[in-house]
């Protein structure tokens, strides 16, 4: 009976319970035709285009021609970055898994998955600074679509929010 009374008192005082979790912003459309995607960004998105050499990487049998980085947030949770790279050619099938893993945090390996019909890789790890203090979770999702590579990196306060962020990502067909 005492717990019930305390619950009523706390609820009447406007104290929020811990069961409510922060929500993500709605997904929005970004990118150019052939490389468009939807994702939930926490703040205004800035984008930067860059050109690469297109030099083939011997390990993977392809190179990167161009990329566009979409960034939102300050680096502290919540932050979301999406990179869309245009490759010189399709990654040879026997090298796809190693290629996708090369975009993940190296010390954790991650998992190879299928993401909405595409070869992909995912990893979620504690977000720690160089002093060893951890303030959330970092997730990376890498999705290969022909000669387009989508790399999504997020810093969130929990692994559940990092996973939820990935669920907002989808490639848009034009």
Q: For residue 144, what pLDDT is reported?
A: 97
Q: Is the pLDDT of residue 95 over 90?
A: yes
Reported pTM: 0.83
**Within-domain flag for 158:** yes
Q: Residue 130, class by beta-carbon neighbours within 10 Å (0-12 exposed, 13-18 middle, 19+ buried)?
A: exposed
Predicted confidence (pLDDT) at residue 22 exceeds the cutoff of 70: no
Residue 100: inside a domain: yes
Name the percent of the chain lying above pLDDT 70: 83
**Does any domain span residue 12?**
no
Residue 1 lies in a domain: no
- pLDDT band at residue 7 using 50, 70 and 90 as cut-offs: very low
**102-113 pLDDT, tens digit each:** 999 866 678 999
What are the backbone angles phi and psi of residue 21, rounded to the nearest 5°? -120, 150
Domain at 73, CATH number: 3.40.1000
Instruction: Give residue 75's domain range.
Output: 23-171
Residue 88 lies in a domain: yes
Determine, yes or no, domain membership for 9: no
Q: Does residue 101 lie in a domain region? A: yes
Strand 79-87 and strand 64-72: pairing? antiparallel
Look at residue 107 in the predicted model and tell me its pLDDT: 61
Is 145 a domain residue?
yes
Number of domains making up the chain: 1
């Amino acid at each position: 009976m005492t717990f019930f009374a305390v619950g009523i008192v706390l609820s009447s005082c406007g104290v929020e319970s811990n069961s409510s979790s922060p929500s993500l912003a709605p997904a929005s459309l970004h990118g150019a035709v052939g490389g468009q995607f939807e994702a939930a960004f926490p703040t205004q998105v800035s984008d930067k285009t860059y050109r690469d050499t297109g030099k083939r990487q011997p390990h993977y049998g392809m190179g990167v021609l161009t990329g566009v980085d979409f960034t939102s947030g300050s680096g502290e949770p919540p932050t979301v970055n999406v990179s869309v790279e245009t490759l010189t050619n399709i990654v040879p099938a026997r090298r796809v898994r190693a290629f996708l893993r090369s975009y993940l945090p190296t010390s954790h390996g991650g998992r190879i998955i299928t993401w909405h019909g595409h070869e992909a890789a995912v990893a979620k790890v504690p977000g720690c600074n160089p002093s060893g203090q951890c303030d959330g979770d970092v997730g990376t999702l890498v999705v290969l679509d022909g000669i387009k590579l989508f790399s999504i990196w997020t810093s969130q306060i929990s692994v559940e929010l990092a996973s939820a962020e990935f669920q907002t990502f989808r490639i848009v067909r034009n």
